[in-house]
Amino acid sequence: MNEEQNIFHKYLEKHDLRDTPQRELILQIFLRREGHISAEQLYDIVKKRDPSIGQATVYRVLKLLIEAGLAREIDFGDGVIRYEHKYNHPHHDHLVCRGCGKTLEVVDSVIEELQKRVAESYGFELTDHEMYLYGYCENCRQKRQ
Amino acid sequence: MNEEQNIFHKYLEKHDLRDTPQRELILQIFLRREGHISAEQLYDIVKKRDPSIGQATVYRVLKLLIEAGLAREIDFGDGVIRYEHKYNHPHHDHLVCRGCGKTLEVVDSVIEELQKRVAESYGFELTDHEMYLYGYCENCRQKRQ
DNA sequence: ATTGTAATTGATAATCATTATCATTAGCAA
DNA sequence: TTGCTAATGATAATGATTATCAATTACAAT
Ligand SMILES: [Mn+2]
Ligand SMILES: [Mn+2]
Ligand SMILES: [Zn+2]
Ligand SMILES: [Zn+2]
The string of DSSP letters for chain B reads --HHHHHHHHHHHHTT----HHHHHHHHHHHH--S-EEHHHHHHHHHHH-TT--HHHHHHHHHHHHHTTSEEEEE-SSS-EEEEE-TT----EEEEETTT--EEEE--HHHHHHHHHHHHHTT-EEEEEEEEEEEE-HHHHHHH-
pLDDT of residue A87: 96
Instruction: For residues B66 and B99, state if they share a domain.
Output: no
pLDDT of residue A144: 78
Closest CA to A134 of B126, B109, B90, B131: B126
Task: Give the domain CATH number at A100.
Answer: 3.30.1490.190
Tell me whether residues B133 and A129 touch, CB distance under 8 A. yes
pLDDT of residue B1: 66
Instruction: For residues B8 and B73, state if they share a domain.
Output: yes
Instruction: For residues A12 and A77, state if they share a domain.
Output: yes
What digits encode the pLDDT tens for the residues B13-26? 999 999 999 999 99
Half-sphere exposure of B128 (CA within 13 A, CB side): 8
Closest CA to B129 of A110, A1, A107, A133: A133
Instruction: For residues A56 and A106, state if they share a domain.
Output: no
Domain boundaries, position B133: 93-144
Confidence of residue A1 (pLDDT cuts 50, 70, 90): low
Instruction: For residues B10 and B79, state if they share a domain.
Output: yes
For residues A15 and A32, give the distance between their C-alpha atoms in angstroms, rounded to a whole number: 25
**Final residue of a structural domain among A85, A116, A133:** A85
Residues 90-129 of A with CB under 7 A from strand D: none
Instruction: For residues B110 and B40, state if they share a domain.
Output: no
Separation of B138 CA from ligand 3 center, angstroms? 42
Q: How far is CA B67 from CA A121, B60, B71, B99, in A?
A: 35, 11, 8, 34
Closest residue in B to A93 (Cα) is B131
Instruction: For residues B80 and B111, state if they share a domain.
Output: no
**Final residue of a structural domain among A85, A101, A125:** A85
Q: Which residues pair with residue A136 across a beta bridge? A: B125
Whether residue A61 contacts residue A22, with contact meaning beta carbons closer than 8 Å, is answered with yes
Choose among B95, B114, B128: nearest Cβ to A110. B114
Whether residue A111 contacts residue A121, with contact meaning beta carbons closer than 8 Å, is answered with no
Task: Give the domain CATH number at A24.
Answer: 1.10.10.10
Question: Structurally, how many domains does chain A consist of?
Answer: 2
Closest CA to B97 of B128, B130, B142: B142
Compute the average pLDDT of residues A61-72: 98
**Final residue of a structural domain among A85, A105, A120:** A85
Instruction: For residues A59 and A108, state if they share a domain.
Output: no
What DSSP letter does each residue of chain A carry, written as one string?
Answer: --HHHHHHHHHHHHTT----HHHHHHHHHHHH--S-EEHHHHHHHHHHH-TT--HHHHHHHHHHHHHTTSEEEEE-SSS-EEEEE-TT----EEEEETTT--EEEE--HHHHHHHHHHHHHTT-EEEEEEEEEEEE-HHHHHHH-
Per-residue pLDDT of chain B (145 residues; tens, 9 = 90+): 699 999 999 999 999 999 999 999 999 999 999 999 999 999 999 999 999 999 999 999 999 999 999 999 999 999 999 999 999 999 999 999 998 889 999 999 999 999 999 999 999 999 999 999 999 999 999 987 7
Whether residue A81 contacts residue A73, with contact meaning beta carbons closer than 8 Å, is answered with yes
**Per-residue exposure over B58-77, b if at least 16 CB sit within 10 Å of its own CB, e if not:** beebbebbeebebbbebebe
Residue nearest to nucleotide C18 (CA to C1'): B59
Instruction: For residues B41 and B106, state if they share a domain.
Output: no
Instruction: For residues A71 and A122, state if they share a domain.
Output: no
pLDDT of residue A145: 76
* CA pseudo-torsion sign A82, A87, A92, A97: negative
Give B18 CA → D1 C1' in Å. Answer: 20
What digits encode the pLDDT tens for the residues A9-55? 999 999 999 999 999 999 999 999 999 999 999 999 999 999 999 99
pLDDT of residue B145: 76
Instruction: For residues B76 and B38, state if they share a domain.
Output: yes
pLDDT of residue B144: 79
Instruction: For residues B39 and B70, state if they share a domain.
Output: yes
